[in-house]
Chain A
Amino acid sequence: MAAQVVATRDGLDSTSRLHYEHRDIVEFCREWVAIAEISAHVGLHLGVTRVLVADLIALNFLTTRGLHLPEDRQRQIIERVIRGLTAIR
């Protein structure tokens, strides 16, 4: 759900051929965005968004990266988030 997707070159080149939600999604994904962000932006239920995004990935119009991090990296990231939040506190 926080997994991020971004439009591929193929996807961006094809927006004129896409319709409705597919087009809205690809156009919204010019930068890396989280699937939940797309859901809110396009105004679709999260489950629906996931299905549409999966279809667009299968078409090679979007590409994805998950958010599973190795353990030691995870620790280091949590520490950075703690520092970051403390700084804006």
Chain B
Amino acid sequence: MDSLPFADAAPDQGRPPVPVKIVIAGGFGVGKTTAVSQISEVPVLTTEAPITEVAAAFDRAEEVPSKTTTTVALDFGRITIDDEIKLYLFGTPGQDRFGFMWRDLTEGALGALVIVDARRLDDCYPAVDYFERTGIPFGVAVNLFDGLLTHDLDDVRWALAISDDTPLITFDARDRGSVLDALLVVLRRSLTMPRRAGPPTDVTGS
């Protein structure tokens, strides 16, 4: 779509805001929608469907007993940074079969936050693996559902094969400040990480 020629916009819409985005990814029921809702200035636009209506592509629902809906499209939130920049937040679906959307979603993203449920590490592996491979700056946030970490963070890093340079933190998806802190971790990583889009980096370090 980017290759299409620009046409003249109607005169009264003004300069477009600069859109930037951060992707919030993670496995089923890890708290993506909750996190986006805490910080979005607009009600989060989300497409939830009763779990029973979603094909039996996953049978994890019984592990999250109180959960009766799941995100089948994506969460969309927004934070106005200043009069020019709008930060968009995209929560991506938890089920593996929506993984095909990630490429589109992550294109041009400043970075990604992968949310992990410490009790179900396996669910989060596909997202971590995806971002490790694509070289998009990301951080991993372990959602402390029960308020305590049952694994050492180093164990989580090892189990999910998270590289040493990737920030790994704990957070509470229901806490606005905690979610903002997690985004800041991603953005700082984005600033320091060499970009793929630039000239190829010599990873051997000369």
Contact = CB atoms under 8 A, between A and B. Distances in A.
Interface of A: 1-4, 6-9, 11-12, 30-32, 34-37, 39-41, 43, 45-46, 50, 53-54, 57-58, 60, 63-69, 71, 74-75, 77-82, 84-86, 88-89
Interface in B93-118: 101, 104-105, 107-110
B4 interface: yes
A63 B108 contact: no
A62 B108 CA distance: 21
A31 B73 CA distance: 23
B9 A63 contact: yes
A4 to B, nearest CB: 5
B198 interface: yes
Interface residues of B, number: 49
B16 A6 contact: yes
B19 A71 contact: no
Main SS of chain A's interface residues?
helix
Contact of B13 (A32, A41, A64): A32
A34 B108 CA distance: 13
Contacts of A69: 18
B53 to A, nearest CB: 15
Which of B6, B18, B82, B191 neighbours the largest number of chain A CB atoms within 10 Å of its CB?
A: B18
A60 B2 CA distance: 15
B88 A32 contact: no
